[in-house]
Amino acid sequence: MKKILIFIVAYNAEKTIQTVLNRIPDTLDKANTEVLIIDDSSQDRTFEMARQYAQQARSPFRITVLYNPVNLGYGGNQKVGFYYAIQHGFDIVALVHGDGQYAPEALPELLLPLLADQADAVFGSRMLQRGAARKGGMPFYKFLGNKVLTGLQNRLLGSSLSEFHSGYRLYSIHALRAIPFHLNTPDFHFDTEIIIQLMRAGMRIEEIPIPTYYGDEICHVNGVQYAWNVCKSTLLARIQQYDLLYQQKFDIQCLNRPKDHYPAKLTFISSHTLSLQAIPPGARVLDVGCAGGHIAQAIRESGGHVVGIDRNRPEDASQLDLFIQADLEADPFPLSLESFDRVLLMDVIEHLGNPEAFMHRLSHAAINAPGVRIIVTTGNVAFFVIRIMLLMGHFNYGKRGILDLDHKRLFTFKSMRNLLEQCGFTVQKVVGIPAPFPMVFGSGVIGRALLSLNRILIRLSRGVFSYQIYMEATPTPKLEDHLTMAIEESKKRVGPDPG
């Protein structure tokens, strides 16, 4: 049987706490159900009233009453309770409010999906039944605010909840263990942030109708501030999907979806499409940092031969003709470039702590390969979005994009050119790449229009409006090459030695 914790958050609830305890149905499994009350540093006798109830043995359930010496806030109090549930081996935690606004009588029905393993979280919704919230006494301004905020959040998050703002929540401990709820706000929009985390983790959320009740309880929420905080958190979570901002609490890998850190960008102008255009059919290509395999597959489909080099072996190396495992940071370059037509360094250089040393090793490997062409792509740290963020005091790394958490070096067009030229290469071609809008907005009208606009802006200022840098370079002849060529040319001009 699953162990259930009924967790009651309480603040200045001396008039209602015992009534709430009385209303917990005694039909629940008494042997496997416990009650936890955490008084969040109330200024009245909430703690004493709860303790009195527990000591009088008026409940069929075991009751634990705790008191926060410092007010932790609505969200902070939940964090302590959820941690308690995890530490004490419970399977389900049901959040109930000490002011009686949410009916404890609904607990048996709300628990059913969790007990049957049909959901990871269950929310009691006052909005599922049309008109029920208003009939239950919800003030019109709260009803309207709830509907507007929920509609906005659904649109931003791609969800379809009937209500984001019910405080009646039940969670499986499995779900709580999978998300960093401890990083969430201690304020009232904790409930919004934990929903976002559950969605990001791919957890199953089920809503069940509950009755709406508004009595003479005191509301401790500043409605305007709450609405602003909710919108801010939701927007930040959505923007993080575009790799522009980053907050660790929303960095959650969906458990039901495999990770693809660098997806293919083959259907619009991108570093992938430009690189493929620069590779002739049947070419021999060295793909340095080949983890994704998207480019290798396309090259082989056009009759090319692909050798891959990376620190870790790809999960699927079947797209490569040969794979060589090497640490680009420390190992000598593992082979000569004389047998290759193209070398791909796609979004690799920024991951190296010492790209200068690597490029010098690559240059040495190209001594006998004067015709090889090096294709380099990297993010443009001078992209106008990054500039705006800097003006606002932000420099936030993210999971992907220009400010990837794994990036060790950042480049502009000028610094990338300097790196190549100072390490023995001559830059032959430079292109500014627009942001991958189709990956964010889809390949429809909006995505295509933004992509076209970005391309126009790049013509005005490549350094400001390019999202990525694309360069092609060839090995610069070394001094010994120049000396050899000078000797050979002199012989041609002088003619054969008459002796």
pLDDT score of 379 more than 80: yes
Residues 228 and 198 in one domain: yes
What pLDDT is attached to residue 258? 47
Residues 77 and 167 in one domain: yes
State the residue range of the domain holding 313.
271-482
- DSSP codes of every residue in 61-72: SEEEEEE-SS--
pLDDT digits (tens, 9 = 90+) for 247-275: 889 888 765 554 445 667 878 888 999 99
Residues 217 and 335 in one domain: no
What pLDDT is attached to residue 423? 94
- 427 contact partners, CB below 8 Å, separation of at least 6: 417, 420, 421, 471, 472, 473
What pLDDT is attached to residue 215? 58
Give the span between the Cα atoms of 481 and 11, in whole angstroms. 81
Residues 365 and 399 in one domain: yes
Kindly state the tokens that stand for 281. Answer: 């059919």
CATH number for position 114 = 3.90.550.10
pLDDT digits (tens, 9 = 90+) for 327-355: 998 888 999 999 999 999 999 999 999 99
pLDDT digits (tens, 9 = 90+) for 193-229: 999 999 999 999 999 998 876 655 555 667 789 999 9
CB contact at 8 A, 215 and 138: no
Residues 330 and 434 in one domain: yes
What pLDDT is attached to residue 254? 63
Residues 193 and 279 in one domain: no
Residues 330 and 455 in one domain: yes
Give the span between the Cα atoms of 280 and 18, in whole angstroms. 79
Tell me which of 216, 250, 284 is where a domain ends: 250
- Percent of the chain scored above 90 by pLDDT? 62
Give the span between the Cα atoms of 320 and 274, in whole angstroms. 20
Calculate mean pLDDT across residues 60-67. 93
What pLDDT is attached to residue 381? 95
Residues 8 and 96 in one domain: yes
Residues 436 and 324 in one domain: yes
Calculate mean pLDDT across residues 381-395. 89
In a domain, 343, yes or no: yes
Which of 127-136, 381-390, 414-423 is predicted least confidently? 127-136
What pLDDT is attached to residue 255? 55
